[in-house]
Amino acid sequence: MSEVINPVVLRLTIRATMGRKRALIFAIAPVIMIGVSALLKLAAKSPVWPPEFLGVFGFTVVVPLTALIIGTSVLGAEIDDSSAISLLATPIRRSTVVLTKFVAATIITVIFAAVGEFLAGAIATGPGSKLAIGLLAGAVAASVVYNALFVMLSVITSRAIAIGLLYLLVWEGLLGSLVGGVRLLSVDQYALGIANSVAHESQLKAHLTLGTAIGMGVVVTCLALVFAAVRLRSFSLKGDAV
């Protein structure tokens, strides 16, 4: 019973998540991003739009929102609609459940958002360009960290989407641009730091070095997953309505 990822749970989760109507929503933001990139490629005069658009719009809107919808859906939505209970009624370890759900969410997010970033980057500056590869690396990293956070949120609260949105808008969006220290605890900054280490592009407006970005990303991911597993261990059903 020392398995970390359970293949049965992984397969079922990916199937259930892609089968929900939300799967269409996952695709919307990346499709818009790719479409706009294609238009800008044809029409834009300014040479700096690729890092500005794909960095700012991509890393503060497309990747986090996609991860938010998917990360809160793999476990949270199943707890809400009770389909997680048949899984929790088996002797499978709760930490395995959390890790497997996290891996499933990350895989789906990478497919939609990170591959979307890469395609948009490839349209903008070519598939072999440093920018496209940097965007892919940053977006993959962001998919990992965001999903750990959002899976944790969905174990703690049934309002995970609202709280996740608040974090993205207020913490990363507002405070992140005003207060320097906030950036150390902002996932989009980890992603930009990693993207920039490959792309070397000042317009990405990365503030963290590669070492800091990776280090903080790993710490946040691990803490979030451990906390989620601890909370799921004490998963409680509501008894009679009182």
Q: Is there binding between residue 81 and other proteins (CB under 8 A)?
A: yes
Q: Which is nearer to other proteins, 47 or 91 (CB)?
A: 91
**Spatial separation of the C-alpha atoms in residues 69 and 77, rounded to whole Å:** 10
**Spatial separation of the C-alpha atoms in residues 12 and 63, rounded to whole Å:** 24
- Tokens found for residue 130: 């440093």
Q: Is there binding between residue 24 and other proteins (CB under 8 A)?
A: no
Instruction: Determine the residue type at 167.
Output: Y
Q: Is there binding between residue 8 and other proteins (CB under 8 A)?
A: yes
Q: Is there binding between residue 178 and other proteins (CB under 8 A)?
A: no
Q: Looking at 83-91, 103-111, 129-137, 152-160, which segment touches other proteins (CB under 8 A)?
A: 83-91
| DSSP track, 178-220 | H-GGGGGG-HHHHHHHHHHHHH--GGG---S-HHHHHHHHHHH
Q: H helices then E strands: how many in the chain?
A: 13, 0
Q: Which is nearer to other proteins, 8 or 162 (CB)?
A: 8
Which residues ranging from 85 to 114 are in contact with other proteins (CB under 8 A)?
85-94
| DSSP track, 17-74 | HHHSTHHHHHHHHHHHHHHHHHHHHHH---TTHIIIIIIIIIIIIIHHHHHHHHHHII
Instruction: Determine the residue type at 81.
Output: D
Q: Which is nearer to other proteins, 103 or 141 (CB)?
A: 103
Q: Is there binding between residue 43 and other proteins (CB under 8 A)?
A: no
**Spatial separation of the C-alpha atoms in residues 107 and 114, rounded to whole Å:** 10
Q: How far is the CB of 69 from other proteins (least distance, A)?
A: 19
Q: How many other CB atoms sit within 10 Å of the CB of residue 213?
A: 27
Q: Which is nearer to other proteins, 97 or 151 (CB)?
A: 97
Q: Looking at 6-14, 61-69, 140-148, 185-193, which segment touches other proteins (CB under 8 A)?
A: 6-14
Q: Which is nearer to other proteins, 78 or 117 (CB)?
A: 78
Residues binding other proteins: number (CB under 8 A): 30
- Exactly one of 35, 39, 83, 127 binds other proteins (CB under 8 A); that residue is 83
Which positions touch other proteins (CB under 8 A)? 1, 6, 8-9, 12, 15-16, 19, 81-83, 85-94, 233-237, 239-242
